[in-house]
Structure 1
Amino acid sequence: MRGADILVEMLIGYGVEVVFGVPGDTNVPFYEALQLQEGRIRHVMARDERSAGYMADAYGRFTRKPGVFECPSGAGAMYSLPPVAESNGSSVPVILLTIDIPLPGEGRGVLTELDCARLFEPVTKMSVQVKSAEKLPEIIRRAFRVACSGKPGAVHLQIPEDMLLAEVDPARISLHVESECIEFPAYPTLPPPEKLDTIISLLTGSKRPLIVSGGGVNRSCAGAQVTELAERLNIPVCTTMTGQGTMPDDHYLAVGVIGDNGFHPHANWALEHADFVLFIGSRMGSVVTIGWTFPKITLNKRVAQIDIDPEIMANNYENVVSVQGDAGLVLARLIDLVPADVDAGRSQEWVDQLNDLRANFWANAEALLSSEATPLRPERAVRCFNEALELYGKPAFIYSDAGTPTPHMTRFLKLKDRKTRFAIPRAFGGLGSALPATVGAWFADKERRPIGMFGDGSFGMSVGELETLVRLQVPAILLLFNNGTFGWIKGLHRLKGHNQCFGVDFTPPRGQAIAEAFDVKAWTATNSQELDAALASAFAHTEGPCLIDIHVESIADRVPPVYSWLNKRGRDPLSIDAEDVRYF
C-alpha cells in the first residue's frame, strides 16, 4: 500500500465522511488516493485554506466528530493557522493535515519549506511531523484520540509528500481504529461519588441556587440533562454566550445570558444575588466575569464547577467544590441522585423573582424591538429574524461571526427549538468565519438549515466562498449586516472619546450585486418590511444559497448591549430601561 492509501483508509475507518481543503503542489498524492475512494469519502474544495478550516470548525461544533481539513505546504499552512487556533481555543475537535515538502528537501532551500510542526505547536493539543510511512496508522489513531479525549481540541499532522508516495507492506502495519475515539467524548470520566453528593447537597440546601451553562454543555450535547436537573430541583439557568441554546428560551427556568457582550441585565443580577452557583462547562473567563470585576459581591466560596478540564478549575474564584468530568455523564449521575422528596418550593420565590425581572426586561425592550427608525436598528432586525425562524418551524444551525451581529443576537435571539444550535467563535474573535462555516454546518446535518451572520468587514474577507456554496448547492441563508465600517473597533474609538475615528471606515459593499454575480439569489433590505419579505423568500428558497444585504445601523452609532461599554458611559448596565445610549 502507498502511504496515501493508508491515510485515506484510516480516515474512512474513523468515520470521516468529508475532508475540506485546497489543492496544491504537495497534496496531489493525497487527492489521487481520495479520488479512488470517492464513494466512501468526499473532498470539498474551498477557495482559501482559512475557509476550509472554518468549514471543519463548524462541522466539529455541530457534530460529535472531528472536522478534518487539509492544505499544501508553505503559504497554505500559514493560512490554516487562524481557524486551527480558534478551534483549539474553543474546544472544538479538528484535525489538520498539512501535506509538506519531501523529507530529503529539509534544510536545502526547497520552495515552501516551513517547520509546520513547530508553527502549530502553540495552538494545538498535538502537532507532529510524520517521518515514517509505516507509522501513519499509529499517528492517525493518536490524532483522533487526542482530538476527542479530555477537553477536545485541534490536532495538526505534518505529512511529507514522500510519506504518501512510499510503499508499505500491509503485513507490517495494523489499520485498526479505536471505536471509542471516533466521536467526542472519547473515554469520558466521572468524579468520585462523594463530590456528586456534595453538589446535590449544595443545590438542595440553597434558597437562591443558580446553574450557569457554558459552551462545554453544547459541546457535550448535554442541554437536555441540564434542563432535567433544573426542572427536578427547580433551579433557574443562565448561560454564557457560547452556552446559548442549552434550553429553550421560553422555558420558565431559562433566565438569559450572563457576562459582558450581549448580556441580559436580569441574568447578571441573578449571578450577583444567588447564594450558590454551579458552573457547568465554562472556564469563567474575562467575558463571563466582565474582566473579573463582576459580580460585585464575590463568588468566592459560593461557586462550584463541573468541567472536563481540571486545569481551568478555581483559576479565578475559590470554589466550594471542583468536579472534573464529562458534562453529560456527570449530569446524568446528578439526576439519579436527586432525592425523591426534594423540596422544590424552597426556591420558588427566587424563580418567581427572576421571571418577574425577565418579563420586565422584555416588556421594556419592546420599544427597541419594534422601532421603525432609520437606518434599520439591529434590535429590529433580530425581531424580524426571530419571527421568520419561528414561522419556518424547522431546526437550523446558526453560525455568527464575532463582530457586528454578536451583541444584539446574543441578547435578543430567541431559540425555542432544541435542535436549533447557535455558535459564535469566541476564542480569538476572528472575522471571516461565518460564511464558509455554513458549508461545514450543511455537511454536519443536511436536515438543518445552515444560516451565517456577518458584518460587511467579515464579508470582504471570505466573499470568494460564495462560489463554493453555489458549486455545492448548499441551501445556506446568509445575513450580511452592511454599514461600511469595522463597527466594533469604531465603537471602541468613540468609547475612548475619539469621534474622528481612524482607519475603520470603508466603502459599503453592494451585497446583492456581489451575490448575484456569483449566481446567488439575493435581496436588499433597508427597513423591517423589506427584511420580513426577504426572510420569508429566503426560508422558502431551498435550491442553493441566498443572501440578504441588510442595511443596518452600526454599533459605532449607538452603544450596544455590552456591560463594560455601558459602564464606561456612566450608565447602569443592570437597568432594564430601553434607552438609546449614545457615545457623544
Structure 2
Amino acid sequence: MKMNGSQILIQALIDQGVDTIFGYPGGSVLNIYDALYERQEDIRHVLTSHEQGAAHAADGYARSTGKTGVCLATSGPGATNLVTGIATAYMDSVPVVAITGNVSTDLLGRDSFQEVNIAGITMPITKHNFIVQRVEDLAATVRKAFIIANSGRKGPVLIDIPKDVTAAVTEYVRLPKFRIRKLPKVDETEFANAMEVIKEAKRPLIYAGGGIISANAMRELMRFSKQMDIPICTSIMGRTAVPYDYDLYLGLVGMHGTPVANYATLNADLIIAIGARFSDRVAGNREEFGKNAKIIHFDIDASEISKNVHSDISIVGDARYILKHMLEVMPTTKHTEWTKTLKDFRTKLGLPKPKAGDMVDPRDLALTLHTIVGEDAIIVTDVGQHQMIMAQYYQFSRPRSFVSSCGLGTMGFGMGAAIGAKIANPNRPVILVTGDGSFHMNMNEMATAVSEHLPIVVLIFNNHVLGMVRQWQTLFYEHRYSQTTIDRQTDYVKLAEAFGGKGLRIRTRHDIVSVMQEAMNSDVPCIVDCWIDKDDCVYPIIPPGKSAKDIIIGN
C-alpha cells in the first residue's frame, strides 16, 4: 500500500500500540495533522495549551501506566518548547517518544524560518534521536524509537521529520509491535558473591529506587524482603514500590527522608541498592553514605555502577530478573535484633506530627486527603515543599500512584502530567498537588483539562512564597529572603471559573473534608485554593552535602 510520510507515521504509531498523542500544530507538521484528521477514529490527539504541556502530559501518561507516552510539535519554537519536558523524562527514565517537524531537507542548515537543530539540542537529554531524511526509513525509525525508549534503562527518544518527508510517497510495509531488547545474562560469579555477602549480613538494608517500578518488580521486592527479613527504604522515585503499611518499610531515605531510614544507612553492615542511583538528594556526602556497610548495587545501567558511591559488588541486569533469581536460591532468614532496633527507633523518633490549631497543616492535609480520595487515586505533584510533604505523609499503597518530577525537579510539570495521567486512567481519581509558585508556571493547561472534560482536582498549597527556596534561605542564608515572597494577587476561585472549571477555597483545617469532598464530586476540573503558613518548613532535612549524622529533625 502506498502512503505519504504523514500517513506512514500515524500508521506506524498505531502499529506500535499508541492510542493517544499530545501535541500542538504548526507549519512543519501540517501534513501530519492532516493524517491525524483522517485517522481520528483510531488515535486520539489531545491539543494542549503549550508544547511543554504536551511533553509533560506524555510523561504523566507513561509514568502512570508503564506505556510509552507520545508528544508532537512543530519545528523551531514548537520543538524547543518540548526540551524541558524531554529532560524531565530523561532524568527519571520515563519512556517517551517526542516527534518534531522540521523545515524541508533542502532548507536544513540555512537558518530557515522556524528552523532549529532540535536533534543537536536534545542529544544530551535523550537516549537517542533521529533525523529522518528518507520517507522509506520512516516506519522502521518509529519502531526503533519505541525499542530504544523501552529497552534497558528507559527514557525519551526524539524523531525529527522534515516537511518534505511527511509529503513524500512510498510503499508502506507494516512492522510488528516493538520488542524490548534482551539484556546480557547476569554475571553468575558476581551473583554468587553477592548472595554470600547477603547471607552473612547481620544488619542488611534494601535501598530501592525507581528501577523497581520501571521493571514491575514490586512483588518480587516484597517477597525478597519478607523471605530475608530485610527492611526497605526508598528514594522518592521508588516511593510507590512498597505499600506505606508494610511492616519492614522505613520510608524515604536521604535529604527529606525519615529519621529511621537515615539511621539505618548509618548502622547497616550491608546496603543492597536496587534500581537506584545514589543521587545527591539521597547520598548527600558521598564519602559518608553507608560508610560502615558493604554496598551491593543491582542496576540495569552499567554507567550508574560506582558513579556516585563505590559499590563492593555490582550486577548489571533487570531488577525483576535479579530478584526472582535471588528468591530461588536464597534461604529464609531472620534478622530479629536488627529489625527490632529499627522499629524501636521509629517508635521513639518518627516524622513530625501535624501542628494543632485552626490553620491548615500540610501534613494533616496529606493524611486527610488519603481518607477522602482512597487508595485508587493518582497523586501528581509539582516541585517544592508540597511534593516532599506528599512523598513523606501520603499513604500510597499502589504502584504508579505517585507522579512527580524527581530528578530534574521541574516546576510546572504537574498540570500537563495530571492531564496525561487522567487520560490514561479515566476511571481513577487524579489529584494534582501543587504550590502557588509551580502552578503559575503552567496554569494555562487548565484550559486543556476543561476542553478535554477531565475532572482533575488541583489542590494548591498557597503560602504566597516560593516555599522550598524560602526554607533554604531560612536555614542556610540567615533569613535573607531574596525574591521568594511572590505574593501573587491571583484569585484562584475566579481563575478556575474563568477557565470554565470550578473554584473552591480551604481557609482552615475545619474546611478540608467538606471542600475536598465537594471537589472530588465535581464533574469539571476543580481548583482548590488552600491557605497555609509561609513559614512552615519540611522536616526532617539533611543540609546539602552533609550526611545522615547532620539531620535536622525540626519541630
SS in 1 for 2:170: coil
Distance 1:188 1:445 in 2: 31
Partner of 1:3: 5
Structure 2 CA distance for aligned equivalents of residues 370 and 532 of structure 1: 17
Deviation of the 1:549 alpha carbon: 0.9
Whether the 8 Å contact between 1:190 and 1:326 is mirrored in structure 2 is: no
Task: Rate the CA distance shift 1:169–1:379 in 2: closer, same or farther, 3 A.
Answer: closer
Provide structure 1 residue ranges, at least 5 long, that are not aligned to the other structure: none
- Structure 1: distance between partners of 2:292 and 2:169: 60
Q: Where does 1:357-506 land on structure 2 (aligned, <5 Å)?
A: 357-362=345-350, 365=352, 368-372=353-357, 374=359, 376-389=360-373, 392=374, 394-415=375-396, 417-419=397-399, 421-506=401-486
Q: Cα distance, 1:474 vs. partner?
A: 1.4
Cα deviation, residue 432, structure 1: 0.3
In structure 1, distance between residues paired with 2:431 and 2:91: 23
Aligned to 1:268: 262
**Worse-matched range after superposition: 143-152 or 350-359:** 350-359
Matched AA of 2:201: S
2:301 corresponding residue in structure 1: 309
Say yes or no: does 1:58 pair with 2:60.
Answer: yes
| Contact map agreement 1:559 1:566 (CA 8 A) in 2 | no
Deviation at 1:427, TM superposition (A): 1.9
SS at match of 1:402: coil
Q: Which residue of 2 aligns with 1:336?
A: 328
The equivalent residue for 1:235 is 230
How has the CA–CA distance of structure 1 residues 128 and 247 changed in structure 2, closer, same or farther, with 3 Å as cutoff?
same
Question: 2 CA distance for matches of 1:220 and 1:525?
Answer: 39
Deviation per CA, 1:141-192: give whole Å up to 9, x if none.
221111111111111111011111111134xxx33134414xxxx4355413
Equivalent position of 2:161 in the other structure: 159
- Identity among equivalent pairs (%): 27
Match of 2:179 in 1: 180
Aligned residue identity for 1:176 = L
Q: Tell me, which stretches of 5 or more residues in structure 2 are unaligned?
A: none
Change (3 A) 1:259 1:16: same
Give a deviation string over 1:474-508, Cα, whole Å, max 9, x none. 12221111111222222223334353422222233
Which residue number in structure 1 is paired with residue 496 of structure 2?
515
Over the aligned positions, Cα root-mean-square deviation in angstroms equals 2.2
* Partner residue, 1:524: 505
Whether 1:573 and 2:551 are equivalent positions in the alignment is yes
1: distance between equivalents of 2:348 and 2:225? 23
Q: How much has 1:515 moved relative to structure 2?
A: 1.1
- Whole-angstrom distance in 1 between the partners of 2:439 and 2:31: 33
SS in structure 1 at match of 2:510: helix
- Structure 1 residue 270 displacement after superposition: 0.6
Structure 1 position 563 matched with structure 2 position 551: no
Q: How far apart are residue 83 of structure 1 and its match?
A: 0.5
Name the structure 2 match of 1:284.
Answer: 278
AA at the equivalent of 1:563: I
Cα distance change, pair 251–526 in 1 and its aligned pair in 2 (3 A): same
C-alpha separation in 2, matches of 1:180 and 1:124: 20
Please, which of 343, 356, 367 is the counterpart of residue 355 of structure 1? 343
Q: Which residue of 2 aligns with 1:535?
A: 516
Is 2:287 the partner of 1:298? no
Q: Provide the secondary structure at the position in 1 that maps to 2:28.
A: coil
Q: Which residue of 1 aligns with 2:69?
A: 67
Query: Structure 2: which amino acid aligns with 1:228?
Result: R
- Matching of residue 204 in structure 1 with residue 199 in structure 2: yes
Aligned partner of 1:217 in structure 2 is 212
1:547 and 2:527 are equivalent in the alignment: yes
Contact 1:371 1:380 in 2 (8 A): no
Higher mean displacement: 524-533 or 490-499:
490-499
Supply the distance in 1 between the matched residues of 2:229 and 2:478 (Cα, whole angstroms): 48
Contact 1:397 / 1:451 at 8 angstroms: preserved in 2?
Answer: yes
State the Cα distance separating 1:510 from its structure 2 match. 1.6
Q: For residues 387 and 335 of structure 1, do their structure 2 counterparts lie closer, same or farther at Cα, with a shift above 3 Å needed?
A: same
Shift of 1:550: 0.9
Deviation at 1:197, TM superposition (A): 3.0
Q: Distance in 2 between matches of 1:265 and 1:334?
A: 29
The secondary structure found in structure 2 opposite 1:128 is: strand
In structure 2, what residue type is equivalent to 1:485? V
Alignment counterpart, residue 246 of structure 1, candidates 206, 230, 241? 241
Specify the alignment match of 2:312 in structure 1: 320
The amino acid that maps onto 1:223 is: M
